[in-house]
């Protein structure tokens, strides 16, 4: 029994390794890596650039980050999926939508892009590097609460991402990038006063490296990663159109799992037309009348004398 389990595990590992190796060897993969690098660079440069302006306020920063995310996702979504966020990448890995190799390289190049973006902002903005959009925990809250805030705002973002790219949904007619960007704006309007509203570990990493400021930096890794993975798993196996126990088991145990193989679950709803309702009511009325007549005839029958 144990030897059989070891064999299955080794086969599973080999299958995943082949998938990762095949991924790395494709030209499309390296284009995607470059897209993630460029996308995160632009996000940090433009988004964090809105934080160092003298006229900066919560609304302007929230709108800048939201519009930046929407624009960048629109630019590179067809190349890499437009993650530009380790939390999104971790969620995609947890739900087995990307290979392990792709996830690792995505995160590495997202961090590199963030550092370069923060470095360019430091050199080009006339601020002496002051602030540089560095995310910091408000002194009035403890790090544990900050983790909770980052967890939930990232959950909102990643849940929106999964809901927006669900290919089985037929009710989506709007812009997917704009929807994602609006979720970023919404969460920034709420969380900036508390944590700076990172919801993206790479976005916080670049300014932290350039400013060399690491106070409570772990908050911006723990909260977003947990929130992102939780959102991905919850949507994929509970709220997705094709969510099912069979799909969830296959995601955990099958070496050849493919989300697209699972059809959308059809709700069995019977819609009664107006004519059907009238027919049902008429039948009920006739049945009721028959019972009344039957009861009356039995009551009027004369007693039988023996």
Confirm whether 273 is domain-assigned. Answer: no
118 pLDDT tier (thresholds 50, 70, 90) = very high
DSSP 239-282: ISTT--HHHHHHHHH-TT--GGGSPPPPP--PPPPHHHHHHHHH
Q: Residue 248 belongs to what domain range?
A: 7-261
In the prediction, which pLDDT does 8 show? 40
- Is the distance from CB of 185 to CB of 66 less than 8 angstroms? yes
What are the helix and strand counts (H, E) for the chain? 12, 0
Quick: pLDDT tens for 245-282: 887 887 887 767 766 666 666 655 555 566 555 555 55
Q: Using DSSP, state whether 97 is helix, strand or coil.
A: coil
Mean per-residue pLDDT, 10-32: 64
| Confidence (pLDDT) at 91 | 97
Model confidence at 1: pLDDT above 60: no
Write the burial class of residue 179 (CB in 10 Å: 0-12 exposed, 13-18 middle, 19+ buried). Answer: middle
Query: Does residue 61 contact residue 188 with C-beta atoms inside 8 Å?
Result: yes
Rounded distance, CA 76 to CA 32, Å? 8
Does the structure show a pLDDT above 90 at 9?
A: no
Count of structural domains within the chain: 1
Percent of the chain with pLDDT over 90: 60
**Does 98 map to a domain?**
yes
Residue 198: predicted pLDDT: 96
Q: What is the CATH number of the domain that holds 11?
A: 1.20.1080.10
Q: Look at residue 294 and tell me if it is in a domain.
A: no
Does some domain include residue 238?
Answer: yes
CA pair distance 151, 156, nearest whole angstrom: 9
What integer is the mean pLDDT of 40-56? 92
Task: Please tell me the distance from the alpha carbon of residue 243 to that of residue 56, in angstroms, as a whole number.
Answer: 43
Mean per-residue pLDDT, 197-225: 96
Radius of gyration of the chain (CA): 29
Is 233 domain-assigned? yes
Mean pLDDT over residues 174-195, rounded? 95
Q: What is the pLDDT of residue 290?
A: 55
pLDDT, tens digit, 9 for 90 and up, residues 273-299: 665 555 555 556 566 555 555 555 444
CA 187, CA 59: separation in Å to the nearest integer? 11
pLDDT of residue 18: 41
Q: pLDDT at position 25, please? A: 79
Question: 113 pLDDT band (50/70/90 cuts)?
Answer: very high
Average pLDDT over residues 97-126: 93
Measured from the Cβ of residue 302, the count of other Cβ atoms closer than 10 Å reads: 5
Which whole number is the average pLDDT over 66-85?
96
User: Is residue 223 situated within a structural domain?
Assistant: yes
Q: Is residue 284 part of a domain?
A: no
What average pLDDT does the structure give for the chain?
A: 83
Task: Write phi, then psi, for 55 (nearest 5 degrees).
Answer: -90, 5
């Amino acid at each position: 029994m144990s030897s059989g389990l070891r064999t299955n595990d080794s086969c599973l590992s080999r299958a995943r390794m082949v998938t990762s190796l095949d991924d790395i060897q494709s030209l499309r993969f390296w284009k995607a890596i470059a897209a993630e690098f460029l996308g995160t660079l632009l996000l940090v440069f433009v988004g964090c650039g809105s934080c160092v302006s003298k006229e900066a306020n919560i609304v302007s920063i929230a709108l800048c980050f939201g519009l930046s995310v929407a624009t960048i996702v629109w630019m590179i979504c067809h190349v890499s999926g437009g993650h530009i966020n380790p939390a999104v990448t971790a969620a995609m890995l947890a739900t087995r939508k990307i290979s392990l190799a792709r996830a690792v390289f995505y995160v590495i190049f997202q961090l590199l892009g963030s550092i370069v973006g923060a470095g360019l902002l430091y050199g080009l903005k006339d601020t002496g590097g002051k602030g540089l959009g560095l995310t910091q925990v408000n002194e009035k809250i403890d790090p544990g609460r900050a983790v909770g805030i980052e967890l939930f705002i990232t959950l909102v973002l990643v849940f929106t991402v999964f809901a927006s790219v669900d290919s089985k949904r037929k009710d989506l007619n709007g812009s997917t990038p704009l929807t994602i960007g609006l979720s970023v704006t919404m969460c920034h309007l709420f969380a900036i006063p508390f944590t700076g509203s990172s919801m993206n570990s790479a976005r916080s990493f670049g300014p932290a490296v350039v400013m060399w400021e690491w106070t409570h930096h772990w908050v911006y890794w723990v909260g977003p990663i947990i929130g992102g993975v939780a959102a991905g798993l919850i949507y994929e196996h509970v709220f997705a159109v094709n969510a099912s126990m069979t799909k969830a088991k296959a995601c955990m145990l099958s070496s050849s799992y493919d989300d697209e193989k699972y059809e959308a679950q059809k709700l069995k709803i019977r819609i009664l037309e107006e004519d059907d309702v009238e027919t049902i009511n008429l039948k009920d009325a006739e049945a009721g009348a028959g019972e009344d007549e039957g009861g009356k005839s039995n009551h009027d029958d004369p007693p039988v004398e023996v």
